[in-house]
A = this chain, B = another copy of it.
């Protein structure tokens, strides 16, 4: 049997009762984290411009635009919520070969369709978990050596969204294979989009297009049933010579969601270890940032390669500057969305401290490790070694820490009361009879 067909049958046959409780809870955490990110991103220019451009072409009010006081057809909602959930780059992530952000292309399809259908939360969560599984397995196999050409979130994400929507639509295995085939021919997203609004658009498109694929397949719209593995299919076209066989190895025994981590800081994942070290050393020693003589960071070489920008000119650029990140971490004791604003980049205190920071490569340090050494004006020295950065797989955010992140994201968009209600609803998603309760609680009208 072909890989596409095996995958399709697995999705169709999978029951939520097959999945261990600890895995299901990780899927709940992933969904929870995404809802916070999508609300937090809802006022970003990229979202506002997409709504303004495409709103006049949208259909009837089937699904909620998270954090905004409006509704839209489910396909448009998947697109807009997809943009909103990724635009802050504050996602879950799998810092392995692909660095994929698994939830951002799948969750918008799950929630928009779940709301439209009024589906039980337990079904939406299981469909979401299966979407992550399909997406990550495809990305890991095809981009086994990484990819500098294609954007994993969108090129693999469209399969995840199709799988999720196909499961919610209760497709049979032939139609599920068509859904995956229709996803394959829509797969797209160039790395050249990074640093522009198109990066978040690619994610929203993957959500919308995957949902479209499942809807078309339900109506009998045909595609190849070997679209992933055929000689002219997805795998060979996107990565000639790649081996799609691992996509279906150990299906139902190992779960991709188990590898999800959640960013505590609103910036590039390689920055998390030095930021974690700076915040810890600051808090433990009540350091006055105005009296720091110099900061010496020792980091994995990737930190310098990816985030070595000494003088970022904008908030967006500062998310990829180790110098800015360490400075705000030491000054504010935080590295949330507020620390990466245009204003913060130009703040005199930040500029002053930034210039006193050096960073040295050390290949013996893992990517989630770092060493921070602070020398004060009076000569005192404070040090901190981070073995596994906060939020990494070996030092994951607790449910409570995820809630703190969630609250920081909904601040100013939802009331405290609404945020409390939404947090409770998200944690108890598997007990909710109608998923639209979550979507409606995440609407901006409650602020």
Say whether A408 faces chain B, with CB atoms less than 8 Å apart.
no
Cα(A70)–Cα(B2), bound, Å: 40
Check B223–A54 contact: CB distance below 8 A. Answer: no
**A52 cross-chain contacts in B, Cβ below 8 A:** 219
- Which of B54, B62, B192 makes the CB contact (< 8 A) with A216? B54
Q: Measured between C-beta atoms, what is the minimum distance from A98 to chain B in Å?
A: 16
Min distance, Cβ A99 to any Cβ of chain B, angstroms: 15
For the residues of A in contact with B, the DSSP-based class is helix
- Per-position binary interface string of chain A over residues 197-223, scored 1 when its CB falls under 8 Å from any chain B CB and 0 otherwise: 110011001000000100110111111
A305-362 residues with Cβ-Cβ distance < 8 A to B are: none
Set B73, B198, B227: member contacting A57, Cβ < 8 A: B73
- Give the CA-CA distance A297 to B305 in the complex, in Å: 65
Contacting residues, chain B, for A237 (C-beta < 8 A): 149-150, 190
Tell yes or no: A291 within 8 A of B by CB. no
Query: With a CB–CB cut-off of 8 A, which chain B residues contact A76?
Result: 57
Of B190, B197, B220, B236, which contacts A49 at CB under 8 A? Answer: B220
Pair B50/A57 contact, Cβ less than 8 Å: no
Residues in A158-203 with C-beta less than 8 Å from chain B:
181-182, 184-193, 195-198, 201-202
Give the residues in chain B near A193, CB-CB below 8 Å: 181, 185, 223-224, 227
Inter-chain contact A216/B73, CB cutoff 8 Å: no
Nearest CB of B to A384, in Å? 37
Given A205-B186, A237-B149, check contact A53 B230 (CB 8 Å): no
Asked if residues B219 and A198 are in contact (CB atoms below 8 Å), the reply is no
Q: Beyond A201-B182, A227-B190, is A219–B53 a contact (Cβ under 8 Å)?
A: yes
The size class of the interface chain A forms with chain B is 35 or more
Cross-chain contact of A221 among B59, B62, B195, B197 (Cβ < 8 A): B197
**Contact residue among B73, B148, B216 (Cβ-Cβ distance under 8 Å from A59):** B73
A212 CB to nearest chain B CB (Å): 7
Most buried by B among A49, A196, A198, A219: A198
CA–CA, A223 to B196, complex, Å? 5
A190 touches which of B62, B198, B220, B232 (Cβ 8 Å): B232
Would A192 and B57 count as touching, CB distance under 8 A? Answer: no
Within 8 A of B (CB), among A228-253: 230, 232-234, 236-237
Q: Is the CB of A192 within 8 A of B184?
A: yes
Residues of B within 8 A of A45 (CB): 220
Residues of B within 8 A of A185 (CB): 151, 188-190, 192-193, 198, 201-202
Beta-carbon contact of A192 and B50 below 8 Å: no
Complex Cα–Cα for A151 and B232 (A): 11
Residues on B with C-beta less than 8 A from A197 are: 221-223
The answer on a CB contact under 8 Å between B57 and A221 is no
Is A58 an interface position by the 8 A CB rule? Answer: yes
Chain A interface (Cβ within 8 Å of chain B)? 45-46, 49-50, 52-54, 56-59, 62, 73-76, 148-151, 181-182, 184-193, 195-198, 201-202, 205, 212, 215-216, 218-224, 226-227, 230, 232-234, 236-237
11 further contact pairs, Cβ within 8 A, besides A59-B73, A190-B233, A195-B224 = A54-B215, A149-B237, A181-B192, A181-B193, A182-B201, A185-B193, A190-B227, A192-B224, A192-B234, A198-B221, A198-B224
A/B interface sample: 5 pairs, CB < 8 A: A45-B220, A53-B215, A185-B190, A188-B188, A198-B224
